[in-house]
Structure 1
Amino acid sequence: MMTDQNPVGIPADQKPSRRKASVRESAEDLVAIVEAGAREPKNPIASWLITFLCLGWSGFQLYLAYAPMNSHIARSWHLGFAICLAFLCYPAYKQYSPPMWVTWTQKVIPSFARRSIRTHIPIYDYVLAALATAGALYIWWDYSGIITRMGLPSQTDIIMGVILVVLLLEAARRALGPALAILATIFLFYTVVGPHLPEILRHRGVPLDFIISDMYLTTTGIFGVPLGVSTDFVFLFVLFGALLDRAGGGKYFIDVAFSALGTFRGGPAKAAVMASGLTGMVSGSSIANTVTTGTFTIPLMKKVGFPAHKAAAVEVASSVNGQLMPPIMGAAAFIMAEIIGIPYLDVVRAALFPALISYLALLYIVHIEAMKIGIKAIPRSELPKFTKTVLRGCHFLIPLSVLIFYLVVMRRSPVTAAFLAIQSLVVLMLIQRPIIAFLSLGAHRRAGTLNPDIDLKSFLATAAWQGVQDVWSGLIMGARNMISVGVATATAGIIVGVVTITGLVGRFITIIATLSMGNIVLMLFFTALTSLILGMGMPTTANYIIMATLTAPVIIQLGGDAGLIFPLIAAHLFVFYFGILADVTPPVGLAAYAGAAIARTDPIKTGVQGFAYSMRTAILPFIFLFNTDLLMIAGVTAAGAIIWLDDPVQLAWIFFSGLIAMFAFASALQGWLVTSCNWFERILLLAVCATTFRPGFFEAYFPFERLGMQIMGVSIYFALFAWQMVRTRRPVANP
């Protein structure tokens, strides 16, 4: 029987030891530092202040979904909550490496040294939080005055703008690490030193009042589209994910994955892929996804025979790819829809096939690894029963069904769909514990084991109160998970604003065109490399915003110059995919560090192996730029409108042939199909991948049309599979 202490029915001899529990705690600590803030103040006033702000933020966002207000004012409140909580929840420095001024203060004031930055909020953080909040809410406070003097900022406007910009950079440094803050500072510096740079980067320079007016007082900088999407859409979906996880939905998905796939060869690894895909649909965070599912999957993968670094790499690769899965996609889907100007469902539609192909290919890679290592399946007796597991938590599918129904069938806005899904989820959370308690009482009564002294009313009231506490905790966690997103989107808005007022995109196009010498493949390679480098240590959402501003226009412009018409959504998905891969790419991949902490292995080795597993994801953007069928796109009109494919038979063939092409690519890299592949077979598999993914390129060299080339590639794959099956069944001569 499964309990909360044994959530996936793991036998006692397979339960994590105390040492493993400490490893899990260190990994969860990393998630707290990166995702929700490391502070848990012991002071009750400070603790209640953070709780009150989190509940207030969640309540404000729910009210905003019910009764929309002026977008600029709503964004100022959104940023006000985010930046205030950033200073209260994220310390200014890591406890084990305090700066010089802290060391000096500890010598002068000995009591200062005894205070942990994890459990104590210093006075200066309260002051900075108040100043930053005032800078954000000044837009709301004097909105009518700002509108009246638009373009002519007053001295107060400039002072408050400078305060907010400076403190926003500090909040980004605390919540997201130094990468985004340094990058935004460099861009701001560029506005000042532009007249003194080489000609290719030179501009006339921007005065301070114009910088502040554009960055602070308009909706093209800090309060631009990225923060607007965070305000309108992202918060509700992150809150939905936090409530669903608190209700037990995350554990339910892991249980289902283990019960469904645990008995197959390499079952724990396949369960890790499935569980990460399911939780990734609603979490949108690669690091949190790694720790949530990796706590259970990584120890079991190691137990059945996976090396530690490969076990961690499988979990990391599957968790990072969770951001590809609709509907959340690491919050980028909403921002992408706003930037491109297409419906949100169109973004989901275009992203669906690549995400599914990537995940199924990872399952295939895991199967190959299990065969190469000789891993056996876990006996069914050691796993929970599938039917019982599915039925036990099938009520968690109700809010997901509400979300999908209103999004896809009723065609409501994402805000409305998420708001209604949250309502249904809250009702479920309030009634599930009393219902479970009532059913438990009935079971004990029928078995004759019911305690006659039990107070039934008190027992059910306690269960109902636990449901209220679940909703309370979910609202708090949802807000804490949004701190880094709110700060990231606002800071990325600074970079977007600088690019807009300096015309940097045109210069960037010139630089990439010069480096690539007009070669479209080299141009895409440099764009992908830029996304990977800028994404190291940076949230995927912020990385996407920057790359969508800088490099997506480069792909469109230079592709057009080469006579190729790339759909705008394809260019944006290209940079988004490589921004995601930065989470697993060494030496900075944060998800790799989280997975390595659980597996107790080298994070660099984990990152290298994880990137090798993610090579299938790395080639997909290059494929769907040239073969837009994978995005369900038939073409683009002269006006830029997308022509969608709608033939079910054609779509089924596109998905099937794309999946076979990706399987062939994975087998070529792994050197294994049914058995070990020789070099000729590996080259043949790469040829299958190329002809199936890019049939149009080979039409000039073979007497086949596009469909014929794909059929030929798929046929060769299955013929090679059959040949290896025959080869493995031949008797081996006794030496």
Structure 2
Amino acid sequence: MSSQKDSREKVNLEEEPDTEAQQKVLEKYDNESRFRIFRSRRTAWLVSLTAVALSLYHLYTSYFGTPVTLQHRSLHVAVILMLVFFLYPPLKTAKRNVLPWYDALLALMALSTTVYIFVEYEGIIQRGGIPNNWDLLFGGILVLLVLEAARRVTGWGLPVLASLFLVYGLFGRELGGIFRHRGYEWSEIVGYMYQTTEGVYSTAIGVSATYIFLFILFGAFLQKSGMGQFFNDLALAIAGQTRGGPAKVSVIASGFLGSINGAAVANVVTTGSFTIPLMKKIGYKRDFAGAVEASASVGGQILPPIMGAAAFIMAEILGMPYSEIALAALLPALLFYIGVITQIHLRASKEGLQGISKENLPAVKQVLMERGHLLIPLIFLMYMLFFSGRTIIFSAFLTILVTVIIAMLRHTTRMTVRDIFDALENGARTAVGVAVACAAVGLIVGIASLTGFGLSLANGIITLGGESLLLTLMFTMVACIVLGMGLPSIPTYIITSTMAAPALIELGIEALVAHLFVFYFGIFANITPPVALASFAAAGIAGGNQMRTGFVSMKLAIAGFIVPYLFVYNNSLLLTNTTLGEGILVVTTSVIGVVMLGVAAEGFLMTKMPAVLRLVLAGGAILLMTPNLLYDAAAIAVIVICLGIQWVLAKRVGMNYLKAI
């Protein structure tokens, strides 16, 4: 016992994360972090003022209304592209402290594409989608700039995919089978991409120019007010002293922050730089510590109320109230986190790990007294979204104002004019990655719409699956994971909802269920090897093996891989069309089921669990999470038998159950 106490005392919560090391990890796994830091103050101010102007424009339009759709979206894209060419060098080896003349020229060319739309708007409308030479010139410039910007910010994956779709649009007539189409001329494709709201300026960029930008800006204001520190301190106060406490702190803090910012890799690096060293110090192995942070950060994007802004996009695409989507996503998200925490706790029990000593932890009361008022903006946002009846955009605008006002209540969170300026700048800079990805996704979605590729892919998935719903779900899952590799969560969802969800809807699955299914697997691509950027970033911080960290992340997230299948077969897990009694029963059985699933995944309860018993218990757990009384009865019998056997095995090795928990 003394050795455990000694190890606790070595944990130093005052240790500041190495910001230089953080930046190196971010730059290695997150292209968005490889931005320029200018030597010239004049250039730095130009970039800052451009970013702040974009944020102020979006705040203004959220209150007073936007220009006509094409103009509003084109302005959003043009300024985002300007920021890309200001901030991101063309190559990793290029100088990052000066703005070369060719990037300044590219920024001006980006601006020209929206100037032309504002000046020539009536002509564009009158031509009815038939482009003249000037339309083709500026449209061609836009397409090329979007591809280059996406390459700089997101890496090669997305622009290559978008380019392949453009080639498919041009030469699809040469293909055979279900993917053949009549083929389109370059002028037709450029006109469609530039002059309509179906290409670059499609729904993807539409939600970027409204919901996404404002909620990223809201997150920037929260961070500037000290919300990140508040979440860390509160999580420490609540869970730090429990068995394996730092890992539970990681789950709580990363879940909260991930829901707000929707940036898995950035969340891993910022939160993980604090939590991963703590996990290692109390005895968690480096691969496991990295996996905890990666799975918790990715899971934040499926956690209401904000879900990294994905819930608002889903509401826009499906034409459903936001409140319905948030409610439907709530239980599956909680099950995911319960599954992660269960495995964390059991790993700590198996290895005899403790938490952090009480004297090294802040008190809950102290944390709430110091920064608890920062919860008010979140509560206000919930009220606005669920009960006020106001639009999501207006709700976001008001919540940003409330955040600034509430932060003024205490000296430690009060924002100066400089802080507000920085929040406006950081919000725009953070939005660049998602906005550029959405513009590139617009090229993909535009070609899919123009050629009917989405329907063809859906038919292909259904054909591969035959008459089996399970096989169709599995093929859809694989397609979503492949499409989601290395992409931000929101563009991933937009692509998968366009390409993969129609296959499920064709089989009679409700649209909301189909969209949540593809959203889950697109998100979990970030922790699924061989391209698992969130896991790789966490491994970089923990000093672990990248692939092992990825596979451990998948094991921790096992509930996230199974629950989507369950709510497809019975959507009671989404708490839709259920009575109060049915809802209570579903919540109870699914929570017990996911805990047992965590036990089976970790292979420990009181003592080590035999492999056969783990498989049987996993089957019983999944059966219990399937909302059906007959299945529930059978599952309970299986679970009771498994736990009885495990208790006998534990007695044989002389373990005390109470010590194990």
The normalised TM-score by structure 2 is: 0.93
Partners of 1:35 and 1:369 lie apart in 2 by 34
Decide which of 203, 215, 224 is 1:237's aligned counterpart: 215
Contact 2:221 2:423 in 1 (8 A): yes
Q: How does 1:634-649 map to 2 (within 5 A)?
A: 644-645=577-578, 647-649=579-581
Is 1:681 the counterpart of 2:613? The answer is: yes
Query: CA 1:84/1:345 → structure 2, altered by over 3 Å: closer, same or farther?
Result: same
Is 1:130 the counterpart of 2:108? The answer is: yes
Q: How does 1:267-416 map to 2 (within 5 A)?
A: 267-416=245-394
Partners of 1:417 and 1:37 lie apart in 2 by 33
Specify the alignment match of 1:511 in structure 2.
Answer: 460
Decide which of 632, 639, 655 is 1:710's aligned counterpart: 632
Deviation at 1:683, TM superposition (A): 3.2
Contact 1:265 1:376 in 2 (8 A): yes
Contact 1:586 1:604 in 2 (8 A): yes
Partners of 2:498 and 2:131 lie apart in 1 by 26
Note the residue ranges of structure 2 that are not aligned, 5 or more in a row. Answer: 1-7, 656-661
Deviation per CA, 1:214-270: give whole Å up to 9, x if none: 111011111111111111211111111111011100110011101110111110001
Specify the alignment match of 1:83 in structure 2.
Answer: 81
Decide which of 156, 171, 180 is 2:158's aligned counterpart: 180
Deviation per CA, 1:395-427: give whole Å up to 9, x if none: 101111110111112232211211111011112
Deviation per CA, 1:650-680: give whole Å up to 9, x if none: 2122112112122222222221233222244
Deviation at 1:586, TM superposition (A): 2.0
Partners of 2:11 and 2:247 lie apart in 1 by 19
Q: Which amino acid aligns with 1:619?
A: I
Partners of 2:468 and 2:238 lie apart in 1 by 47
Note the residue ranges of structure 1 that are not aligned, 5 or more in a row. Answer: 1-9, 96-115, 437-462, 560-564, 634-643, 696-705
Partners of 1:176 and 1:547 lie apart in 2 by 18
Contact 1:36 1:480 in 2 (8 A): no
SS of equivalent to 2:416: helix
Contact 1:136 1:164 in 2 (8 A): no
Decide which of 487, 512, 520 is 2:436's aligned counterpart: 487
Deviation at 1:718, TM superposition (A): 5.4
Is 1:613 the counterpart of 2:556? The answer is: yes
Query: CA 1:132/1:21 → structure 2, altered by over 3 Å: closer, same or farther?
Result: closer
Partners of 1:200 and 1:46 lie apart in 2 by 52
Deviation per CA, 1:681-734: give whole Å up to 9, x if none: 323312322322335xxxxxxxxxx3243245246535644664565356749x
Specify the alignment match of 1:62 in structure 2.
Answer: 59
Q: Which moved more, 1:566-575 or 1:584-593?
A: 584-593
Is 1:691 the counterpart of 2:623? The answer is: yes
Decide which of 476, 500, 503 is 1:527's aligned counterpart: 476
Deviation per CA, 1:82-106: give whole Å up to 9, x if none: 11101111111112xxxxxxxxxxx
Deviation per CA, 1:609-665: give whole Å up to 9, x if none: 2122222211111111111001122xxxxxxxxxx33x3332122112112122222
Decide which of 539, 561, 571 is 2:488's aligned counterpart: 539
Contact 1:37 1:480 in 2 (8 A): no
Specify the alignment match of 1:45 in structure 2.
Answer: 42
The normalised TM-score by structure 1 is: 0.84
Query: CA 1:279/1:718 → structure 2, altered by over 3 Å: closer, same or farther?
Result: farther
Q: Which amino acid aligns with 1:336?
A: M
Contact 2:169 2:451 in 1 (8 A): yes
Q: Which amino acid aligns with 2:267?
A: N
Is 1:577 the counterpart of 2:555? The answer is: no
Partners of 2:338 and 2:261 lie apart in 1 by 20
Partners of 2:16 and 2:432 lie apart in 1 by 32
Specify the alignment match of 2:5 in structure 1.
Answer: none
Deviation per CA, 1:260-304: give whole Å up to 9, x if none: 101111100011001111112211111121112111110010000
Q: Which amino acid aligns with 1:249?
A: M
Decide which of 187, 201, 206 is 1:223's aligned counterpart: 201
SS of equivalent to 1:393: helix
Higher Cα Rg, which structure: 1
Specify the alignment match of 1:72 in structure 2.
Answer: 70
Partners of 1:669 and 1:202 lie apart in 2 by 45
Is 1:591 the counterpart of 2:588? The answer is: no
Partners of 1:65 and 1:355 lie apart in 2 by 30
Deviation at 1:17, TM superposition (A): 7.0
Specify the alignment match of 1:422 in structure 2.
Answer: 400
Partners of 1:312 and 1:525 lie apart in 2 by 28
Partners of 2:612 and 2:32 lie apart in 1 by 47
Contact 2:220 2:427 in 1 (8 A): yes
Q: How does 1:463-482 map to 2 (within 5 A)?
A: 467-482=416-431
Report the number of matched residues. 647
Partners of 1:195 and 1:181 lie apart in 2 by 23
Partners of 1:235 and 1:628 lie apart in 2 by 32
Contact 1:509 1:554 in 2 (8 A): yes
Partners of 2:167 and 2:160 lie apart in 1 by 10
Q: Which amino acid aligns with 1:63?
A: Y
Q: Which amino acid aligns with 1:55?
A: V
Q: Which amino acid aligns with 1:685?
A: L
Is 1:670 the counterpart of 2:606? The answer is: no
Deviation at 1:525, TM superposition (A): 1.0
Decide which of 652, 656, 679 is 2:584's aligned counterpart: 652
Partners of 2:653 and 2:140 lie apart in 1 by 78
Decide which of 69, 73, 97 is 1:119's aligned counterpart: 97
Partners of 2:268 and 2:653 lie apart in 1 by 44
Contact 1:290 1:595 in 2 (8 A): yes
Contact 1:23 1:597 in 2 (8 A): no
Decide which of 152, 165, 186 is 2:130's aligned counterpart: 152
Partners of 1:388 and 1:711 lie apart in 2 by 46
Q: Which moved more, 1:375-384 or 1:293-302?
A: 375-384
Partners of 2:427 and 2:529 lie apart in 1 by 29
SS of equivalent to 2:527: coil
Query: CA 1:238/1:11 → structure 2, altered by over 3 Å: closer, same or farther?
Result: farther
Q: Which moved more, 1:46-55 or 1:17-26?
A: 17-26
Q: Which amino acid aligns with 1:182?
A: V
Q: Which amino acid aligns with 1:167?
A: L
Partners of 2:179 and 2:476 lie apart in 1 by 18
Deviation at 1:591, TM superposition (A): 1.2
Contact 2:23 2:33 in 1 (8 A): no
Partners of 2:170 and 2:343 lie apart in 1 by 50
Specify the alignment match of 2:511 in structure 1.
Answer: 568
Query: CA 1:731/1:357 → structure 2, altered by over 3 Å: closer, same or farther?
Result: closer
Deviation at 1:40, TM superposition (A): 1.4
Deviation per CA, 1:320-351: give whole Å up to 9, x if none: 11111123323322221111111122211111
Contact 2:290 2:549 in 1 (8 A): yes
Decide which of 548, 552, 564 is 2:497's aligned counterpart: 548
Specify the alignment match of 2:4 in structure 1.
Answer: none
Partners of 1:331 and 1:28 lie apart in 2 by 22
- Percent identity, please: 36
Contact 1:430 1:468 in 2 (8 A): no
Q: Which amino acid aligns with 1:293?
A: T
Q: How does 1:97-112 map to 2 (within 5 A)?
A: none
Partners of 2:343 and 2:228 lie apart in 1 by 24
Partners of 1:19 and 1:140 lie apart in 2 by 47
Partners of 1:263 and 1:677 lie apart in 2 by 27
